[in-house]
Amino acid sequence: MLDHVSIGVRDIARAKRFYDAALVPLGYACLSESPGSLGYGSGNVSLWISESERPVPADEKSGLHFCFAAPSRESVAAFHKSALAEGGRDNGKPGLRADYGPDYFAAFVVDPDGYRLEAYCGHPAKD
């Protein structure tokens, strides 16, 4: 349904460090970079990040969050660990969320600008 999403951040260099670290474990990379703008995805850009004078204020009660597809449960855990190492805040450790679905494995973080992010894998655990 969606081709891409765009968000504004205060500090593009800080955002690059954070999103490079958080998204690499999920198989996503910075595919486009210009002064004040970054584009992330796999094959094509699906997430645009732009330096903005007035980004959307962080609001944990807004319900807004972005969920990234993950290839494995291990990549979900790596996303969480890498995001925290680059200034993200924990918003839900990696684990099974059985109330969402029998194989719903996810982790949740908040990026340095207050955006709530999730990495999700719906595959059963490997034996």
Separation between Cα atoms, residue 115 and residue 60, nearest integer Å: 8
Residue 60, helix vs strand vs coil: coil
pLDDT in tens, 32-86: 999 999 999 999 999 999 999 888 888 888 989 999 999 999 999 999 999 999 9
> Which residues are CB-contacts of 18 (< 8 A; sequence separation ≥ 6)?
83, 86, 87, 88, 111, 112
Domain spans, the chain = 5-53+62-121
Identify the band that residue 127 occupies on the pLDDT scale cut at 50, 70 and 90: low
Tens digit of each residue's pLDDT (9 = 90 or more) over 95-110? 999 999 999 999 999 9
Choice among 22-26, 37-41, 61-65, 116-120 with the minimum mean pLDDT: 61-65
Higher-scoring residue by pLDDT: 60, 91: 91
Tell me what pLDDT residue 93 has: 98
Superfamily (CATH) of domain 5-53+62-121:
2,3-Dihydroxybiphenyl 1,2-Dioxygenase, domain 1 (3.10.180.10)
- Picking from 52, 44, 45, 58, the residue whose alpha carbon sits closest to that of residue 91 is 58
Please state the pTM of the whole predicted model.
Answer: 0.93
